[in-house]
């Protein structure tokens, strides 16, 4: 199978020369005469290598490379410049370019640098394959992502799973904390025993205590039979306590005793029950603030937080949107017996630009809905919810008229949040675009209630 190379240059003669040289070397050459076209091509397929001119009329190489890196960070990119200055070369390399080459291009130098980049990529893939073989014993099914943040989580899960350490998983709602908890259990020495899940926010205080620790017959009105608690059911296995911050102080005290002494008494009982259970807890709240307010025990926090896994929101790992979209599309196309080819590039662009306040869960719901509603072989912009589609329309159809009579604070808030969404949640880039410091941006977002 031929390796495919994308050559991006708005100089037709120069592009054709590179194509002729590399075709003769046995590569399959694809072309684009602008950075934006290159971005669109990368969204549709993977390339073994990209050769891209820095200076182009519409979208330049630096800007295009920055976006391509977000879409597919593993593609090696060689920048081409007629301006052999330290500034342009260093800028490209700082962004993560593999190397650069100057015009007029020396054909022998071109062949060498392309071969070097291809060999480097193949070695990198072999290393990944070896790491995967080493990690074959780890089941990360359901955990999907290619961003550096998710790769770090995969590594952490692989390291902590075989231990017996208690784990605290933090992050916003809808970003997959339960999947991580499940992966930790499935890769632990307790995997052959029960994995019991409890949502602490779903039950009132008295019922939660009974659910966790069980109760004796007649312990309270309605307790007509003796009931075994979730901790007993999770003996020698793991228990997942979701939304741990919602637990009442009295229940927190009993959890602390289980952690310290591995024992408890059922509600209404006097006989002590011994258990050997690993606790994996999760919360979307800032427990440090709950501790300061006296709502959560500090000693329990430190007992639970032996190892912390912080899951970033989807807007902070936009690189994962395309791969998650593909996963959910295949999942729900199969579930609903739909023959779909994929997602329209414009629709994918809308998904990439959206801020995803509901995180991965919201993305999954959007794709499931689109799969059911679409009349095409591809998910189109019209298949997306109005809230996502509207963002695109507003950016395209804005008349540029000032919103006369609107309070300045509201205008400021809209501009800041829109710019943040436009930059895929990147706060540093947003601050630069708005001409303010990152700290000022952080304070403004806190004022608007944006975490």
pLDDT at 367 over 90: yes
Q: In this predicted model, which residue has the larger pLDDT, 274 or 135?
A: 274
pLDDT of residue 132: 42
**Whose CA is closest to 323, among 339, 346, 343, 353?**
343
Element (H, E) at 69: helix 61-71
pLDDT in tens, 153-186: 988 998 899 999 999 999 998 888 999 999 999 9
Q: In this predicted model, which residue has the larger pLDDT, 257 or 83?
A: 257
Residue 357 neighbours by CB under 8 Å, 6+ apart: none
Categorise residue 142: left if φ over 0, alpha if ψ from -120 to 50, beta otherwise: left
Q: What percent of the chain lies above the pLDDT cut of 90? A: 37
Q: Is residue 379 within 8 Å of residue 370, measured between CB atoms?
A: yes
Enumerate domains of the chain plus CATH numbers: 4-131 (3.40.50.2300), 148-310 (3.40.50.300), 315-398 (1.10.8.60), 399-451 (1.10.10.60)
Structure tokens at 135: 């990690």
How many Cβ atoms sit within 10 Å of the Cβ of residue 418?
15
pLDDT in tens, 292-317: 999 999 999 999 999 999 999 998 88
Structure tokens at 361: 């869960």
pLDDT of residue 319: 83
Q: Where are the beta strands (DSSP E) in 284-382?
A: 307-310, 342-343, 378-379
Give 3's DSSP letter.
P
Q: Is residue 295 within 8 Å of residue 245, measured between CB atoms?
A: yes
pLDDT in tens, 121-157: 766 655 544 444 434 444 565 678 888 888 889 889 9
d(CA 70, CA 145): 13
pLDDT of residue 443: 83
**DSSP for 202-231?**
SS-HHHHHHHHH-B-TTSSTT--S-B--HH
How many Cβ atoms sit within 10 Å of the Cβ of residue 193?
18
Q: Is residue 82 within 8 Å of residue 102, measured between CB atoms?
A: yes
pLDDT at 219 over 80: no
pTM of this structure: 0.57
Q: In this predicted model, which residue has the larger pLDDT, 412 or 172?
A: 172
pLDDT at 204 over 90: no
When pLDDT is averaged across residues 223-243 and rounded to a whole number, the result is 88
């Amino acid at each position: 199978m031929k390796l495919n190379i994308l050559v991006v240059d708005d100089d037709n003669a120069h592009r054709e020369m590179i194509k002729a040289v590399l075709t003769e070397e046995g590569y399959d050459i694809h072309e684009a005469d602008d950075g934006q076209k290159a971005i669109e091509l990368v969204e549709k397929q993977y390339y073994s290598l990209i050769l891209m001119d820095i200076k182009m009329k519409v979208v330049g190489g630096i800007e295009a490379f920055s976006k391509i890196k977000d879409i597919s960070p593993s593609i090696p990119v060689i920048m081409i410049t007629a301006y052999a200055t330290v500034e342009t070369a260093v800028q490209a390399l700082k962004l993560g370019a593999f190397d650069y080459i100057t015009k007029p291009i020396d054909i022998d130098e071109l062949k060498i640098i392309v071969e070097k980049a291809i060999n480097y990529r193949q070695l990198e893939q072999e290393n990944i394959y070896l790491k995967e073989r080493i990690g074959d014993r780890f089941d990360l099914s359901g955990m999907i992502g290619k961003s550096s943040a998710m790769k770090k989580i995969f590594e952490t899960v692989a390291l902590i799973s075989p231990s017996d350490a208690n784990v605290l998983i933090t992050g916003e709602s809808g970003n997959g904390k339960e999947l991580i908890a499940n992966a930790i259990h499935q890769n632990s020495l307790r995997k052959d025993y029960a994995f019991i899940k409890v949502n602490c926010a779903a039950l009132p205080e008295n019922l939660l205590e009974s659910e966790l620790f069980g109760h004796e017959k007649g312990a309270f009105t309605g307790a007509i039979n003796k009931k075994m608690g979730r901790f007993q059911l999770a003996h020698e296995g793991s228990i997942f306590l979701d939304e741990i911050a919602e637990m009442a102080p009295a229940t927190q005290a009993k959890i602390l005793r289980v952690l310290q002494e591995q024992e408890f008494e059922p509600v209404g009982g006097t006989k002590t029950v011994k258990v050997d259970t690993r606790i994996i807890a999760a919360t979307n709240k800032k427990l440090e603030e709950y501790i300061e307010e006296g709502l959560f025990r500090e000693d329990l926090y430190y007992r639970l937080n032996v190892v912390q896994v912080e899951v970033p929101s989807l807007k902070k790992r936009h690189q994962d949107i395309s791969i998650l979209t593909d996963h959910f599309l295949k999942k729900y196309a199969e579930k609903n017996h739909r023959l779909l080819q994929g997602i329209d590039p414009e629709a994918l662009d809308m998904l990439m630009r959206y801020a995803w306040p509901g995180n991965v869960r919201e993305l999954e719901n959007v794709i499931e809905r689109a799969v059911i509603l679409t009349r095409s072989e591809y998910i189109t912009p019209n298949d997306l919810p109005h809230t996502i589609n509207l963002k695109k329309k507003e950016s395209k159809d804005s008349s540029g008229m000032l919103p006369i009579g609107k309070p300045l604070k509201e205008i400021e808030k809209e501009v800041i949040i829109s710019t943040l969404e436009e930059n895929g949640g990147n706060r540093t880039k947003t601050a630069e675009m708005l001409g303010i410091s990152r700290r000022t941006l952080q304070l403004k977002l806190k004022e608007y209630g944006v975490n």
